[in-house]
Amino acid sequence: MNIAVLRLADPAKAFYNACTELHTEDASCQYFKGAFRERFRDVHSDQYHYMKLKTARQGRKEGPIEFADRCKELAQRVISKVNDPIAQQIHRENVDRMCLASFVGGLAGVVCPEVRYAHPKNLRGSREFSARGGRG
């Protein structure tokens, strides 16, 4: 925990300094993690993350691979968490399709039409195709 405290950045360090119960000797590592997870949890709704994924566009200084990584990160926030492994797999496949659609739809530049015409089956294939500059 001492190493974690030393590595805290600005807002987390301010939270730690203000939270006196984290400074006690009996504060466990689990309590420490839980306090930070609760304080810095994502406050946006599922709909917010879905719209961010759906409307994602490649930035001017963002390469196709960086854009694909951003789409995957947004997709991870959309996926539902369920206990049933089959249902979880179905959710994951749906989110993968949404991620691919957002990536292909949000691509910019010369590679964009070539990736769209290639009809990639997954995000990995479209990333590799766009990284090669659209050359199949």
For 10-36, the pLDDT digits (tens) are 888 898 899 888 888 888 888 888 888
Query: For residue 51, what pLDDT is reported?
Result: 92
What is the mean predicted confidence (pLDDT) over 50-78?
Answer: 89
Cα R_g (the chain), whole angstroms: 20
Query: For residue 114, what pLDDT is reported?
Result: 65
Q: 97 phi and psi, to 5 degrees?
A: -65, -40
Please state, in angstroms and rounded to a whole number, the distance separating the CA atoms of residues 40 and 12.
8
The pTM for the full model equals 0.59
Q: Which helix (H) or strand (E) holds 118?
A: helix 111-118
Q: 76 phi and psi, to 5 degrees?
A: -65, -30
Please state, in angstroms and rounded to a whole number, the distance separating the CA atoms of residues 14 and 85.
40
In single-letter form, the type of residue at position 76 comes to Q
Query: For residue 79, what pLDDT is reported?
Result: 80
The tens digit of pLDDT for each residue in 89-136 reads 998 888 888 988 898 889 887 666 667 666 666 676 555 555 555 544
Query: For residue 120, what pLDDT is reported?
Result: 66
What is the mean predicted confidence (pLDDT) over 47-63?
Answer: 90
Query: For residue 136, what pLDDT is reported?
Result: 47
The DSSP result for 42-101, as a single string, is --S-HHHHHHHHHT----TT--HHHHHHHHHHHHHHH----S-HHHHHHHHHHHHHHHHH
